[in-house]
Amino acid sequence: MSVWRGFLRKSATICDPGSHGAIDATFFDRETASRHYQHRSDRHIRTLETTALVDTNSCAILDIHCSAHWPHDTQTGRRVALRNTEEIESLAGDKGYDDQSLRDALRSEGVRPLLRHRLFAAV
């Protein structure tokens, strides 16, 4: 992953990134694309969760995190965001990143969190 991060940092400097970032996760189905690899390696990774930190001005990807274990968004969001606090001033995210300790960690690093709050309603 360190090679990917180095490549992404070099390509982001070419795009002249701004100071506002957004974070989100998506899933990639790897079952059909890597069937040959699965048979050779005796590993069965069907779906990867990929979390990306994107610059909102240039749409350049600043950082990426891939996992086959699907950790919660607040865990991967914390790792990705705190690795890049010197490059961003504000961070936007959806309700999956609603965690007060993440907000506090971002504020202590000088980053303004723009994370939506989850609403819990009684049924």
CATH code at 16? 3.30.420.10
| Residue 120 within any structural domain of the chain | no
pLDDT of 34: 61
Residue 9 pLDDT exceeds 70: yes
| Residue 121 within any structural domain of the chain | no
| Residue 87 within any structural domain of the chain | yes
pLDDT of 15: 77
The parent domain of residue 38 ranges over: 2-115
pLDDT of 61: 86
DSSP string, 51-111: EEEEETTT--EEEEEEESS---HHHHHHHHHHHTTTT-SEEEE-GGG--HHHHHHHHHTT-
Per-residue pLDDT tens digits for 28-79:
776 665 666 666 766 666 677 888 889 888 888 888 888 777 677 778 888 8
| Residue 63 within any structural domain of the chain | yes
pLDDT of 111: 92
| Residue 94 within any structural domain of the chain | yes
Per-residue exposure over 39-65, b if at least 16 CB sit within 10 Å of its own CB, e if not = eeeeeeeeebbebbbbbbeeebbbbbb
Number of structural domains (the chain) is 1
| Residue 122 within any structural domain of the chain | no
| Residue 45 within any structural domain of the chain | yes
Residue 21 pLDDT exceeds 70: yes
